[in-house]
A and B are shown apart, each in its own frame.
Chain A
């Protein structure tokens, strides 16, 4: 037997899709900005970038950053105050992460609708931390004089670029795994839109 339950409250769904749009804009425009003066030995292909030229890319980056920051702050406050984080991400134990990671790598970790396994908990907490890091390092690059303490915190302007890049790379890797898992377990997509899904009841 199964029954329909709400997996994702409306607040979380709105924040999720606003964030998805903001992240895609930030990634693609950020790659275009990177291309203007690469810090590593490669450039991103033009089709992966947004804005057309450096001025357009920066306009996108500094417009979408407000959506990313406002939505991110709102989600963090909601998650902390409503108990959403505590209910879904805790407890997080190294032992469980290890056990679930081994199951996942052997493709034996079942998807349990409505609750997260330890690997998911770790990844979601990790990507939230990366989100905070990418915003703070980004602010230090935007305002290295007015926010000089942030710039110092990230080892100066040039090193802060590398921190910003590394945080971006972590988020991009998360998005790739996230999309891969949705493709493998497509029934998780609809609940992120409607909020509802079927939950298996144990037949005891």
Chain B
């Protein structure tokens, strides 16, 4: 590389002191830029799955991806841990999208479980008929999406037994539930057929109290609490995802644990 003939004068040595102000400006600009990107992130805080902007669409897409991953992780033979009667949480917490005194009062004599969709026998079920089916009992941990957990005891008809009794197409994808309190939810078929998934009629060996879902609650110890609908009045077997009260607002649909 040939040195240019000019300048004849020897270049002045670059001294840090001469450039300090310029450097400080660059540093400030960079700090400002990184704080602006933090600001941009706080704008994202408005992305809450409610207004269908670009970020919300990404979040919904990731939630559907999480559904698929969880379905792959799910093992029908993997049982939820069970506990001793002495470990039952007392009092067991009430939780719903309304206050406890608003829980629906249901008359056992009038109540029927409607059955719809891909099933052979659509005759509605009375409580007596449900009690005539084989019953199963479990002491398992209810884990709420909010983070708290509580141990309870539920007994009732294994959902698999019930689906066989009504001649359900168990190759269908979903089992949906409708409740007396406008709540609704749904399960993937593998979770519906899990041995610990039951149509619970009893809590601690007594008929379910109103607060805990009289007369029928779906107990699924392999799912978060909100996937355990109470006061169930209808069940359907379908290939179209029935969604759910919370699921349609943005809670992850699969929500397996």
A residues lining the B interface (CB < 8 Å): 21, 24-25, 28, 33-34, 36-37, 39, 47, 49-56, 58-60, 62-63, 66, 142-146, 148, 157-158, 161, 183, 186-187, 189-190, 193
Contacts and interface: CB of A to CB of B under 8 A. Distances in A.
Nearest to B148: A37
A148 B83 CA distance: 14
A190 B143 contact: no
A161 B59 contact: no
B48 A53 contact: yes
Contacts of A157: 141, 143, 149
25 contacts: A36-B145, A36-B147, A37-B144, A37-B146, A49-B45, A53-B48, A53-B250, A54-B146, A55-B249, A55-B251, A56-B48, A58-B252, A59-B49, A59-B60, A59-B62, A59-B252, A62-B62, A63-B59, A143-B256, A146-B73, A146-B78, A148-B81, A157-B141, A190-B26, A193-B30
Contact of A60 (B59, B65, B66, B147): B59
Interface string B31-52: 1001000100110111111100
B256 A54 contact: no
A144 to B, nearest CB: 5
Given A37-B147, A146-B73, A146-B257, A56 B50 contact: yes
A58 B147 CA distance: 11
Interface string B130-147: 000000000001011111
B257 A52 contact: no
Contacts of B31: 183, 186, 189
A158 B62 contact: no
Contacts of A66: 62, 65
B252 A56 contact: no
Interface residues of B, number: 46
A24 B246 CA distance: 26
A21 B257 CA distance: 27
B213 interface: no
Contacts of B251: 55, 58
B62 A63 contact: yes
Given A51-B47, A146-B73, A148-B81, 10 more contacts: A36-B145, A50-B45, A54-B145, A59-B49, A145-B79, A145-B257, A146-B256, A148-B78, A157-B141, A157-B149
B92 interface: no
Interface of B: 26-27, 30-31, 34, 38, 41-42, 44-50, 58-60, 62-63, 65-66, 73-75, 78-81, 141, 143-149, 221-222, 246, 249-252, 256-257
Contacts, number: 111
Given A59-B250, A62-B63, A145-B80, A52 B45 contact: yes
A36 B144 CA distance: 10
A49 B73 CA distance: 29
A60 B49 CA distance: 10
A145 B49 contact: no
B236 to A, nearest CB: 24
A26 to B, nearest CB: 12
For the complex of A and B, the 10 pairs showing the least CB-CB separation, nearest first, are A52-B48, A56-B48, A55-B250, A63-B62, A37-B147, A36-B146, A37-B146, A59-B59, A186-B27, A37-B148
Contacts of B145: 36, 54, 58
Contacts of B79: 145
A145 B250 CA distance: 23
A52 B252 contact: no
B36 to A, nearest CB: 14
Contacts of B256: 143, 145-146
Contacts of A56: 47-50, 59, 250
B46 A145 contact: no
